[in-house]
Chains A and B, each alone.
Chain A
């Protein structure tokens, strides 16, 4: 094995963004004060579905400081509907409800005033006359042909119903010695960043440009705004130098931006829409997947799982958006880390009268992993096998990479057995089981949980053409430009916003690595969208691969230019030169320094070799390493790189109170070469915390009347320091053969396996009572009630 020596990549350097944030000097959208700014408050629908008979804003408009009241009729007449991911043209969506609303809390009018509080005062005075309509909340009810359609013109609630069969499913089922089936349900939760979504739009009629500042994490954001507002693409200028206060997928903000952009143009003043928490929770359209899995497994008595049938029914909420694609991404890792030979997968997405979904960290992969890992636990239980042994028996082996899974993706690299053995050694698996048994002996419920899963990374969007044949997207690019100024100082341009991922550190580190110069000397800036090369923003765990690739390839181009200049100057072939820390060394030790090369590039054009542009700059547009093909026969290479994680948890709880205490949490993580260890560690720990929330605490709950019951932070419970245990991370590195340094993605790590691991541990803890937990989040009341019911039926834990 060759040991690669690196100066900066994988070293323990500080994250450069942190300095401004600890000083309170981040620049978030709400921090931007433009003179003359107007403020928006929203009028929310009271019923889950109602025909809007009349909206009367007269009283509101008469209030001091109130500038405008906008309804959906006016807005929809002036704009195009927002884009749907699927081919569902009759599921039209505008920022304000048109004719009828489709969920409680949906925005039906916007009030614009000189301050936010005046806008809220006036919003109370907008009179809305409605006729309540029938509604549907439950996905299984919605899928029935007898259900009321949320969008009558679409004809039904079914947005997507596709069945894929990869491999010889029927044969594998009939040949297998055993089978089992079960249902598990992933409750509706989301990422819920502490900063709500916000946008400021300003129209300049003299230049014809709409300037947009937003807390955004959205591929092709500027394009979508321009399309909806019927503007040329080059009339929308998105400012990427806005810090985003967390997103983890959800900050897509098209509807908010279209609304603010329209108002800014109409009113001739900057317009600011910063969601308050109630607006954000009810109608920010940022809920996450809510999914019922029906799974059938076919396996042999030796523990080999041969085939799987899975039906995933997702409750998309009232409009389509991109959310149904979250059933598509998991196809890229539909067998998890296992050698399952064939899969039948039915993906169903339905509309209901709930808040709209948006992309959530992992884009549907974490719920699917929960279903797969539940299957592995149940197979082990069925066979009376140790759950760890069962997984070991089914893991893809290190010598089998690259490994083609039935649904068409090739896993790039990995050594799952090695990671698991490291975790087992670090945690002391046998000792953990013994500790569990000791806790049980004290009368507690105690469980060991485990979960193994993949993090597909380097996102392109092959799920789009796979689920929508009209969509012919085969790759998603990311770009970077490097400029060496006349003083020899380096500036790297990145063309996206960031929401905590440390992209400035990433870009500086890889450019510093390639150019062999101290990253602290490299400035990283973010031009606006009109000055940017194309990109697709930090989604799908892609930036280490994609921005890391773009920046390092641009730096390599720069180095190539420097070598060419030196070769020309020294009159020797490039092959005789060695790049050394910014200088270039020629035969016999002659050396041309960095500043000399810069001087030639910037001033002495007569010394430039033919075909070399003056001024040292380089741009690189990176395409997804494997993103070159459209789907064929329902198969496609989804993402290029596959990180692996293995979770091992011990928890216990009092059988009556049923509030779990996590005693031990160990994760083994292999995301290839780590660019910055602090960042990867933070992503992993944060993802686990988010996963613990999804497993135990967080849920958007609706009552029978279709009202959202968890619309404030008093009821939507996110874990605090008390609920998150110390987590031990065990590292392993299997470099990716597809990337510059061997890096893979890690932006979704932790979250992808934590809910499955917690569920596994909770299930193990209640197993002695023969209770089955089949729904996330696992509420303590539900656990306690189930144990009590079992005790009443005479079940004992012995």
Chain B
């Protein structure tokens, strides 16, 4: 299991990377490599060259930019998981990250690499979808921003520009109100690709009524799916009522069946995990004094 030959290029700037990608259509961006390198080893991917962005300063770092939390594409999952900023501003992302792979893969694996790869069961993509993050590419001199729902269009298929470089992901900052997040997933082994996952962010008003419930499920179909629960906005949080709305919203969820789980399992699991995630999120929100 040795990769087929390829060239290796390590650009220092976004411009240099974009120029190389434009000139080499068979080249691929190498970030953490935790998914790409196994594909190379199995010769399922045969790029002409790898453009290693792991050390590009412009692509790393976590900071606040206006009303967003900006995470550089080459920021590792481990850094993001350990980041106090992430914990404060995007607690759902933090929970999602703790479910990504295993500690050694998070040390190398990146936020942007996971987004760009667009595995249907990827936790970071699901969190980005639920939170409505912006996925920001540079293509030549042009900056292109994608909403997740427009970006993830199929299993490992995105609308990313072919010669573009994912530079960062901008997550909305923590909303006002009492905020709680929950993230649940199921796989035969913890740390494997989830056969179903769900994340929720519950925002409550001071009196405990729902300001909003953002819910998404992943791993069940081709792309992460947002679930519209806006009919609950402004209502008192009642678990049974929420359960009814969630079950109805997911009743016709498109699910795939494979070796690891049937489609019907995935659908039921998605509903169950969604309710668990909402329950977790609600419990945290109730404790949140803000």
**Do A and B touch (CB < 8 Å)?**
yes
Residue pair B262, A785 in contact (C-beta under 8 Å): yes
**CB<8 Å pairs between A and B, sample of 24:** A117-B2, A120-B43, A121-B4, A124-B43, A656-B269, A656-B271, A658-B265, A659-B186, A710-B259, A715-B259, A715-B260, A719-B189, A720-B189, A720-B191, A723-B189, A779-B261, A780-B188, A780-B265, A781-B195, A781-B265, A785-B262, A785-B265, A788-B264, A788-B268
CB-defined contacts of A116 to chain B, threshold 8 Å: 2
CB-defined contacts of B190 to chain A, threshold 8 Å: 720, 722-723
- Cβ 8 A contact of A654, one of B191, B192, B272: B272
| Contact of B42 with A by CB under 8 A | yes
Given contacts A117-B2, A714-B38, A788-B268, 14 further A-B pairs with CB under 8 A are: A117-B3, A120-B2, A278-B1, A654-B272, A712-B42, A714-B192, A717-B192, A723-B190, A779-B188, A779-B260, A781-B265, A784-B269, A785-B265, A788-B264
CB-defined contacts of B86 to chain A, threshold 8 Å: none
CA distance A26 to B58 in the complex (A): 44
CA distance A781 to B4 in the complex (A): 37
Rounded to whole Å, the gap between the CB of B188 and the closest CB of chain A is: 6
Rounded to whole Å, the gap between the CB of B163 and the closest CB of chain A is: 28
CB-defined contacts of B93 to chain A, threshold 8 Å: none
| Contact of A482 with B by CB under 8 A | no
| Contact of A701 with B by CB under 8 A | yes
Asked whether A277 and B269 contact (CB < 8 A) given A717-B188, A779-B188, A785-B262, the answer is no
| Contact of B273 with A by CB under 8 A | yes
CB-defined contacts of A628 to chain B, threshold 8 Å: none
Bitwise, A648-677 to B at CB < 8 A (1) or not (0) is 000000101111000000000000000000
Rounded to whole Å, the gap between the CB of B195 and the closest CB of chain A is: 8
Residue pair B186, A657 in contact (C-beta under 8 Å): yes
| Contact of A709 with B by CB under 8 A | yes
Residue pair B272, A656 in contact (C-beta under 8 Å): yes
Residue pair B42, A278 in contact (C-beta under 8 Å): yes
Asked whether A717 and B272 contact (CB < 8 A) given A121-B4, A278-B42, the answer is no
Residue pair A781, B273 in contact (C-beta under 8 Å): no
The secondary-structure label for the interface of chain B is loop
> Which chain B residues have a beta carbon within 8 Å of chain A's beta carbons?
1-5, 38, 42-43, 186, 188-193, 195, 259-262, 264-265, 268-269, 271-273
> Which chain A residues have a beta carbon within 8 Å of chain B's beta carbons?
116-117, 120-121, 124, 276-278, 654, 656-659, 696-697, 701, 709-710, 712, 714-715, 717, 719-720, 722-723, 779-781, 784-785, 788
Residue of B nearest to A703 (CB): B259
Asked whether A697 and B188 contact (CB < 8 A) given A121-B4, A710-B259, the answer is yes
Residue pair A277, B1 in contact (C-beta under 8 Å): yes
CB-defined contacts of B265 to chain A, threshold 8 Å: 658, 780-781, 784-785
Residue pair B189, A722 in contact (C-beta under 8 Å): yes
Residue pair B189, A717 in contact (C-beta under 8 Å): yes
CB-defined contacts of B3 to chain A, threshold 8 Å: 117
CA distance A615 to B260 in the complex (A): 64
CB-defined contacts of A780 to chain B, threshold 8 Å: 186, 188, 261, 265
CA distance A697 to B262 in the complex (A): 15
Asked whether A276 and B188 contact (CB < 8 A) given A709-B259, A784-B268, A785-B265, the answer is no
A-B CB proximity, top 8 nearest: A117-B2, A781-B265, A781-B261, A722-B190, A656-B272, A276-B1, A656-B268, A781-B262
CB-defined contacts of B260 to chain A, threshold 8 Å: 715, 779, 781
Rounded to whole Å, the gap between the CB of B186 and the closest CB of chain A is: 5
CB-defined contacts of B195 to chain A, threshold 8 Å: 781
CA distance A147 to B186 in the complex (A): 41
CB-defined contacts of B42 to chain A, threshold 8 Å: 278, 712
CA distance A155 to B174 in the complex (A): 72
